[in-house]
Structures are given as structure tokens and as C-alpha cells.
Structure 1
Amino acid sequence: MNSNKTHHREKIALLFFLLFLAMTGLMGRLIFLMVFRSEHYSAMASDLHERERTIKAARGNIIDAKGTVIATNRTVCTISVIHNQVKQADEVTAVLSKELGLNEAEVRKKVEKYSSREIIKTNVDKTLGDQIRSYHLAGVKVDEDYKRYYPYDTLASTVLGFTGGDNQGIIGLEVKYEQYLKGLNGKILTMSDAAGIEIENAAEDRIEPIAGQDLHISLDVNIQRYCEQAAYQVMEKKGAKRVSIIIMNPQNGEIMAMVNAPEFNLNDPFTLNTAAEVPANEKEKQDLLNKMWRNPCINDTYEPGSTFKIVTAAAGLEAGVVKLTDQFSCPGFRVVEDRKIRCHKVGGHGSETFLQGMMNSCNPVLIDVGQRLGVDNYYKYFEQFGLKGKTGIDLPGEASTIMHKKEDMGLVELATVSFGQSFQITPMQLITTASSLVNGGNRITPHFGVSSVSSDGKSVHTFTYPVKEGIVSKETSETMRYILEQVVSEGSGKRAKIEGYRIGGKTATSEKLPRSLKKYISSFIGFAPADNPKVIALITIDEPQGIYYGGTIAAPVIADIFKNIFPYLGIEPAEEKTVSSFRISG
């Protein structure tokens, strides 16, 4: 019996010991939580009682070269409900569905959903938001927000780009300069009770938003609008598929205008800009939208045709394999290996100098210059001029040049490349390279961004862009300006001539692939003044109907644009020049 008592006492002692250990552990844990983790759990408790709403930061404006705002913000509202604060669910559902034009069942589903905050609709017009606020519905929150607004609707749509529902840039400058434009959102912090209902008259903490920086760009609204008008006129007149125009300062790469007609409405970017193409399903619609949003000036490549003869001529002059007075013969074709490559003039140009060959846009002459250079030399200058890489323009999605690999380039390929066929570049690459060849030999970087300025005007960031000097000598550049001035004054580009002004330029008519379709791109690149270029322009007309020669339909458009923007840019008529103003070396 004593042994049983002893056994029970041992069990009781063990139980008390285990309880003591448990209590000690609990006390230790409690002390640890209260002393060492008090801040953490205090913060968690606060989070349970705090409600947070975002105050959207105003996105920075985009401002043109003359100070005109071309992208800004409009105040809109976000309508939301907090379930635990709603007192009359039926009334809230009825009012919101009626005022917002939403399906009542969908609104009710959100109103009755157990969540800290349920968004009913965003981007609500401020007037309507104020109307909903006037109902004083418990649990309904009307927060002011910003929606991107473009005062000129379609102006430079593929350049500016647009923003999504979260006000973040999607394409164009809006996405390229997102870090400068977006700003920093603020917050509203309110206290609620254990049931999640906001405490009346409780202190409200606000963290004010910081507005985004304004982006100042080189694009000029006046020049852009005039170029768009010219593009639409020629597109309608020639029944063209698309017309693109670029106007740029060839000395520093600042782009004054970039048109891709037809443009789309930036305030309604998800509506197709043509009724001719009706999508069969959502995937097809998205494909059409992506196509509409593309910027052909930088996203698409094409065979440049005769405008590329500028590059072959500059390479030949720089390498010393040709002079202006060199004699050539054009019977209307050249035979290269087993290929007969024709000139655009069926009967040929006969005997002509290199200068005359450029003025006549003679394929055989440029083929001969290419053959004199050879594949190695031609590739060397192709790379030296910057044609193998991208231009570095401050727009997303720039395409690269599509060129033969050096090891795959034979004499036939060299011949066709020499006059602008069998490879592809972007219009932006062409105008940038041409600018660099006539501005004294400096490879510039095309761009729109000039500076960003904080909303208070105190912080200014000026953008800089690389320049590669000496891609050709100043002498070669001067000779190229002279050649291209003769092309306009007496050669194939004479429809770009403007009385009293010195214009340089080159025409092109390139056949699209596959050749069997007989579809063309007509183009003209021109600059002025010819002796000291301050403006350069490129127009491409995609699939014009009827007469399609670049010298006939593209050159006059640039002439008309130049005639109207020269006074605006302060480009004065030139004094009467003499033949001796440029010395032709023999």
C-alpha cells in the first residue's frame, strides 16, 4: 500500500514539474512578445484598424518645342465600396448601377462581397463622381484620380503613345520616359473599429503625392499639323495605304515632326481607325490594334531604293574610288556575273559623268561604284556610317537593318545593294545616315526628349545624346551636298525645287516584295539650305495608285512643306550663287 502512495506522489510531482515548465515557457514567451516584439505586434494591430486608399500622382505633361501642352491630365473619379461600412446595400446597388450605367447584378455582387475595398468603376467623369458623392451613401467612396488627356486627339499618336487604366505608359514617349512622367502616389490612412467601420472624427493621415515631371520635346505642333495635313492629302489623292513623314534638324538630331498617316485617336486608342477592317474575334481585333499602334518610321523596314545611292556615293568618294568628273556609260543595264540588272531608263543614259549619273539616278553608275569599292570596303563603310546598328532614337521598338552577311555577299548582292535593293532599313535609319553625311560627317542620334522639369520648376534634367564625329571627311560631306543640290536643281528631284532656296535631295521608287505584286513605295529625302543644312525631311508613300514615281509624287509634297515651314524656321532665301561656289576636282 505504501508503494502505491509513493507511486502516486511521484506522478503528482512529475505533473507539477511539467506544469511548472509549461508555465515558465508561457511566461517566457509572453515576456518575449511584450518586450522584444511589442513594436511588431503593435504595428499589426494598427494595420487591422487602418484603411489605406491611394492618392494618384498627377502624370507630368508633355510639352512641345514652343511650350504647347500636347499631353496632360483630366480629373476623374474612382468609385468603390467598403462592405463593412455599407448600411443600405439595396440603395447603394440601385444608385451605383443607375448612375454608372452598370449591370445591377454585377454591382450587387461587388457591394455584398466581403473585402476591405471593392472598386466599382474607374475613370468616372468628375461631374458624375460629384453627383454620386451628393447621395452621401454609407460605405461608398469617391476618390479623385487622373486620366491622361490629349488635347489634339490624333496628333503624333504613334510618337506620343498613350497610357493604360493604371495611368502607366504603354507605347511611344509615354512609356520611354515613364520614370520621369509617372510621379509618386500618395496615401490616405483612416482608422476603423473592430467591425471594420471607419471611426467618425478620427484623425486622417495623408501622404501627399508627388507629381510627375513635365517632358519637354523637340516636336513642334505647328510643323506636325502641317505635315499631317500634307500626308492625308497625298494619301487620299494617290489612294495610298500609308504615308510617313519625318522632319528633323540634321545638325543635332532633334525631330520636329513625325507623321504616320492614318494616325489614331489617343483619347480612344482601343477603337480602330478604319472601318475597312472589321475583326472577326478579339484576337483579330488585338492584332489590328497592334498594327494600328505601330510606328512605321522606326518599327518597319523597307528597301530604300535610290535614296540609298547617297550612301554608295559617299562611300565611293571617301574611299577615293570615284570623282565627280569620272566618265561612265549606261546602255540601260549592267551584267554582273550571270545577272542582267536594268536601269530605270530602258534605253540607258549613254555617256555621263559620275555627277550626271547621280542627277539621273542611274543604276549602272552606282553599280560600278559599288564594284570599285568591293565587298570588304563597302561593308567597312556600311558599318562606319552606322547602318549596321540602330539609330538609338528615344522611342521603343526600333527595328534593326536587315543586311546580307558579309560572307554571303557576292558581286550580284553588292550590285543590288549599291542602288538600294535586296536589303532593308527603317526610314529613321535612312534619314539619320543621310543627315550625318551632309552635316559635315557627324553621326547624330535622332531624338524627341529635350529636358524634364519638376512640377515646381526647381529640378531640371537635360537629356544628352551621343555623337560620332568624322564618319566621312568634311570634304566628302561638302561634295555630297553639292551633288544632291544638283539632283534637285537639274536632275531627277527637280519637282522639289523652290525658287530662291538652295535645296538638296534624292528621289526613290522601290518595288515591294514579292516583285510579282507590282506594288511600290515612293519616297524623297530633301534638306535645306543645301550649303548648311538646318532641316531635313523624308517622305515615304506606301502603295500609291497610278503614277508612283518618287520624283513625281513624293518630291512635290516635301517642296510644299518646305515652302510653308521655311519662314517659320527662319530659313531665308539664298543669294544668287555662282558656279564657282563649288570647285569640281578632276
Structure 2
Amino acid sequence: MSTEHRLIIVALVISLFGVGILVKLFTMQVLSADFYRSLSEHQQTSSATLNNKRGDIILKNKNGKDILAATTRSGFLIFANPRNIDDPTSSYERFSEIIEERGLSVNRDLFMEIASKKDDPFEMLLHRADYSLAEQIKKVNIGGVNVRPEEWRTYPFAGLASHVLGFFGFGKTKQEGRYGLELYYEPELSGSNISESEGDDKIGEAIFEFVKKFLEQTIEGRNLYLTLQLEPQQELENNLEKIVLNYKPSKAGGIIINPKTGEIIAMASRPDFDPNSYSQVDDISAFLNPNVSSVFEMGSVFKPLVMAAAIDTGSVTADTVYEDKGFVMVRSARISNYDGRGRGTVNMQEVLNQSLNTGMVFVGKKLGKNKMLEYFENFGLDEKTDIDLPSEGLGDIANLLGGGDVEYATASFGQGIAITPIQFARAASALANGGLLMRPHIVKEITGPDDYRKIVEPKVERRVFSERTSEEITRMLVEVVDSYLMGGGKGPKHYSVAAKTGTAQIANKDSAGYSQEYMHAFFGYAPAYDPKFLIFLFAEAPKGVTYASYSLGPSFLNLTDFLLNYYEVPPDR
């Protein structure tokens, strides 16, 4: 930018600045004195007008139509200035007559109490009034009853995807995004990052920021278009409701991911909340997303990961055999199969089919400690996934760093190490997609003023194992579904499905050892050799059911049938 152009801009800004001062002072000191004086006094109890037009959060339905998941509505707040209420009874009766026609009401005693506060120029009466009501109030001109424009954040589907969305509410000093996407993308949604310089014109940027802040210029935030899809999200949440109703777990959750791209198709957990009424939630831990923030020992769903690592290194094949006695001693620790029974000579396919702990200890020894740790690290079990959601937890595989025999033996079947559901979904996706570790993401596109558009492309983090390994472990997991899952033959008739269940003891919170409660987990993908989706479900401490195949199996099969139909996937069998 030339010096001459800079001087012209500065001159224009100074002129605008002078006009702005006059307008601003007149507005604040004459037209809106009561409102601005009281705003600081009532900040925590009133819905503030948003100076920036906050961006929308949008998902798609099956037909590709944009569906608003979070948006900003405009209306009016009605407030009283007790200093100007000369006849409280008359003012109340006139005001009450108008709002009662619309099915609204304000308690008479409360109004009278408000009217008596002659030193208080601002008391709220009604929020979110529509235009016609506001115009009627202004037209009738009730002494001391005034209207003011108001904007508020709303979530049209109530609690749907609440842990993904988060909510917009009061922080320490202002209203801002809290939890979920509302927090993670606060700069984009609020518009606070839009003035960031795209080049080196720091003078122009500084001038823009100064004028914007002084004049409270309205800046449009950017819109988020999600990878989440409405119908799969609804179906996932419906199935979680059934799991909670039937088995009353302390927590339950699920993730549906495209294993080839890392796009999250659906994500939900229970208990959830309604972001429209977040202030009614007593326990703020309910706002945390356990799919992202909580770590669990996953149990036998880990077995395919370890088996794939052993196949990839040539340590075992599906036909490798070992002698199963029902238990194995590792130093002084006795490790048993879930039922304590021995099967004699069995191969690796049967280890997955019957979920044999002793078989996985055998696989772990064949793989070796160093290689097991290397693959766990390549799976990303000791790192965050960098999903675009806040408060992501970090997996804990520190037990393996000491090199203990028992620790590696139990890790081979998913005990003694803990990871987040999103970490597991990412790692399991590598089984399905040919061996690639993908970065999971929620936002697909960001748009904004001045034709701004940013596409979030799929990101490959690294290759974990070969395509041949992926195909072989998939074939083995298809056999699990066809022959053993819930007695065998329960999968879709004309589709190949790869899946595995897991049931793990839950560690004591305040002492060493394990409780008598169990973590249930289930994952699977379909069609197995060209997957359109991967489903992961979990239930912490379900009641009245022993195995994950029964607590989570029906929901997995329901979701699989739904998604195959939803995506109109042609049969592969």
C-alpha cells in the first residue's frame, strides 16, 4: 500500500471516528442511558445483545439439505424502569392485558416489587418477545415499560449432539462458547478472528480493529458445516436411549466414523443435556464429552489391534496354533479365559472367535514387548487425536514403559491400559481402511463474509500396517460375526460385517485392583472390504447383563442395518 493511499485511509478513518464519537455518546447518554447503566448491574441475569452476528452450526440430512443445529435468533426484551412508573397498578394492568392475549404472564406481586425499586432503572420483565408484541408495547406507551432488541443462541434439536455442540453462555467476563464446538471454534463463530491480517498490512489491520472496537461494529461470525449427519445422529441417540433404559450404565456412548476419511458421522453419549437450558444442569461434569475426554480400559476389542500387529510382523498367521489350557501363568499371575475352560489346540482365528485371553498372551509373546509398544504408539494410543473438540483426554499406556511381563500380557487383551473412545475409533479405523491412521474431524467446511470458504480435507497421519494385513484381519473379523457373534448368523444376510466385542473389568478408583463392575465395548464396520462406516459403542457398568454382545450387540446390528439402508449400499454377498 502506498503512502498516499495510507494517508487517505487515515483521513477517512478520522472523519468516521469523529462522527462515531458523536453518535455513540448521544446513543449512550441520551437514548439508552438506563439500559447501559443497568447492563453492568444485571450482566449475569440478562441476555446480552450480541454485537457480533454469531455464526451458525449446520449439519446435513440425507438429501443434502442444510439443517441448523445452532443458530442465533433475534427478538426483544421487555424491561421496566421503575423511576418512570408513576401508577404501578395501572401500568401492570395495561401490560398484563397485552401479554395475556399471547398466553404470557408476569406475577402481579413481582411487578409491584419491581415498581417499588425507584433507584433501579432496569428490571427484566420478559425475554425473547417477538416483533409484534414489542411494537404493541411501544405503541401503547406504558409508563416505565420499555423494549430493547435482544439476540440469543438457540439449539433447535434440544439435546441432540449436545456434547458435540456445547453451548453459548456466560464465561468469567462475557458470553462466549462453552464446551464442544461452541468453545473450540469460538474465534470463528464470534467473528473475532476475521480481521486477522492475510498479508503484511499491519497499519490497516490496526485501524480496522480500533474502529470496530470503539463503534461496536457488527461483525458476522463464520458458519460451521459439520460432518455429522442428522438421521444417523438421531438413530445413534435412539439406540443409546435403549441401552440406558435396559441396562442403566453409569455412562454410555457411541461414535460412527468414516474410516477412510476420519469424518465423524455421529457422536453422542449419555447422560446428555439440553444446551437451551444448560443452567439447569447441577453437575457440570455432564458437559464433558466422554467420547473425547474420558479414558477406559477397553478389554477384548483390543484383541484385533494386537493380532493385526502380530500378523503384520509375520509373528503369527490365522493358522498358527497354540495349546489352550484355559489359563496361563505369567510370573505369579494367573491369567484365565473368560470362562476358565481350555480348548486344547486352537488357531488364531479361534482366538478371536472365542475371545481367548490365553491366546492373546501367546500372540503378545510372539510379537514381543518392543514391537507391541511400537505398534501401540503407531496406533496413537499415547497421543491425542487432535479432533476439533475441546478437553481431549490422553490415553495411558504408561504401564508398558516398565517392561513388566504381566503388564504386557494383560495389555494384549485390553486390560491395564486406558484410552479414549475417539482414540480407539481412530485406531480401529486403520483395521478397516487398509492400515492408515486418519485424523478424526467434526467440521467439514467453514464459510463466512466476503465469500470466505475453507474446506477441511481428510488427513493421513501415518501408515500403521500393510493393506494385506488390513485385509487379513478383516477376513478374520468377518468370520467372528458369521460364526460366533451372538451365536452366529446374526449379521445382515447380504452384507459382510467385521466386528468384535469387549468386556473388561473396571479398575478401582481409590485403590489397586479391579472392581466387580465391567466396561462393555463393541466395534464393527461394513461392508467389511469396502467400509462406508465404523461403529464404536460403549457402556460403563451396565446392570443385569454379563457380556457386551448382549448389551450392545442389538444396537450395533440395528445401526448397521440402518446405515446400509441410509447409504443405499449395494449388497456384497
TM-score by length of 1: 0.77
Select the residue among 256, 259, 263 that pairs with 2:272: 263
Greater mean deviation of Cα atoms: 340-349 or 244-253: 340-349
> Take 1:391 and 1:171, find their aligned partners in 2: how far apart are those partners?
18
2:257·2:266 contact (CA, 8 Å) conserved in 1? yes
* 1:536/1:43 CA distance change after superposition, 3 Å: closer
* 1:539/1:48 CA distance change after superposition, 3 Å: closer
Partner residue of 1:553? 551
Partner residue of 1:62? 57
Partner residue of 1:156? 161
Q: Matched residue of 2:493: which SS?
A: coil
How many angstroms does 1:463 deviate by? 2.3
> Take 1:229 and 1:90, find their aligned partners in 2: how far apart are those partners?
54
Q: Matched residue of 1:487: which SS?
A: helix
Partner residue of 2:480? 487
> Take 1:344 and 1:55, find their aligned partners in 2: how far apart are those partners?
58
* 1:97/1:513 CA distance change after superposition, 3 Å: farther
> Take 1:374 and 1:122, find their aligned partners in 2: how far apart are those partners?
68
How many angstroms does 1:393 deviate by? 1.1
For residues 257-279 of structure 1, the C-alpha deviation after alignment (integer angstroms, 9 at most, x for no partner) is: 1121333222222234xxxxxxx
Amino acid at match of 1:556: P
1:39-188 equivalence runs, <5 A: 49=26, 51=28, 56-66=51-61, 67-79=66-78, 87-88=84-85, 103=110, 107=114, 112-113=119-120, 120=124, 123-126=127-130, 129-130=134-135, 132-136=137-141, 142-165=147-170, 167-183=175-191
> Take 1:120 and 1:158, find their aligned partners in 2: how far apart are those partners?
31
Partner residue of 2:10? none
Greater mean deviation of Cα atoms: 158-167 or 97-106: 97-106
1:344·1:362 contact (CA, 8 Å) conserved in 2? yes
How many angstroms does 1:380 deviate by? 1.3
> Take 2:110 and 2:311, find their aligned partners in 1: how far apart are those partners?
72
Say if 2:520 is the partner of 1:511.
Answer: no
Amino acid at match of 1:467: V
Amino acid at match of 2:165: L
* 1:79/1:560 CA distance change after superposition, 3 Å: same
1:183-198 equivalence runs, <5 A: 183=191
For residues 205-246 of structure 1, the C-alpha deviation after alignment (integer angstroms, 9 at most, x for no partner) is: 987623322211011111111111111122212233332121
* 1:408/1:111 CA distance change after superposition, 3 Å: farther
How many angstroms does 1:104 deviate by? 5.3
Partner residue of 2:469? 476
Amino acid at match of 1:534: K
Q: Matched residue of 1:510: which SS?
A: strand
> Take 1:242 and 1:345, find their aligned partners in 2: how far apart are those partners?
26
> How many equivalent residue pairs?
498
How many angstroms does 1:537 deviate by? 0.1
1:442·1:471 contact (CA, 8 Å) conserved in 2? yes
Greater mean deviation of Cα atoms: 165-174 or 332-341: 165-174
Q: Matched residue of 1:469: which SS?
A: strand
How many angstroms does 1:69 deviate by? 1.5
Q: Matched residue of 2:523: which SS?
A: strand
How many angstroms does 1:450 deviate by? 0.6
Say if 2:409 is the partner of 1:415.
Answer: yes
How many angstroms does 1:339 deviate by? 0.8
Partner residue of 1:530? 528
Partner residue of 1:9? none
> Take 2:355 and 2:483, find their aligned partners in 1: how far apart are those partners?
12
Partner residue of 1:565? 563
1:2-21 equivalence runs, <5 A: none
TM-score by length of 2: 0.78
Greater mean deviation of Cα atoms: 373-382 or 88-97: 88-97
How many angstroms does 1:184 deviate by? 6.7
> Take 1:218 and 1:488, find their aligned partners in 2: how far apart are those partners?
29
1:235-250 equivalence runs, <5 A: 235-250=244-259
> Take 1:356 and 1:122, find their aligned partners in 2: how far apart are those partners?
67
Say if 2:332 is the partner of 1:338.
Answer: yes
2:399·2:407 contact (CA, 8 Å) conserved in 1? no
Say if 2:235 is the partner of 1:231.
Answer: no
* 1:105/1:569 CA distance change after superposition, 3 Å: same
Partner residue of 2:389? 395
Select the residue among 358, 368, 372 that pairs with 2:362: 368
> Take 1:168 and 1:223, find their aligned partners in 2: how far apart are those partners?
29
> Take 1:217 and 1:563, find their aligned partners in 2: how far apart are those partners?
23
> Take 2:246 and 2:339, find their aligned partners in 1: how far apart are those partners?
26
**Structure 1, unaligned runs of 5 or more:** 1-38, 186-204, 273-284, 576-586
1:93·1:104 contact (CA, 8 Å) conserved in 2? no
How many angstroms does 1:501 deviate by? 0.4
Percentage of matched positions with identical amino acids: 28
For residues 559-578 of structure 1, the C-alpha deviation after alignment (integer angstroms, 9 at most, x for no partner) is: 11111221211222113xxx
2:114·2:123 contact (CA, 8 Å) conserved in 1? no
Q: Matched residue of 2:346: which SS?
A: strand
For residues 36-87 of structure 1, the C-alpha deviation after alignment (integer angstroms, 9 at most, x for no partner) is: xxx999998987655277663332221113321222222233456789xx65
Amino acid at match of 2:58: I
> Take 2:192 and 2:144, find their aligned partners in 1: how far apart are those partners?
27
How many angstroms does 1:92 deviate by? 11
> Take 2:181 and 2:294, find their aligned partners in 1: how far apart are those partners?
18
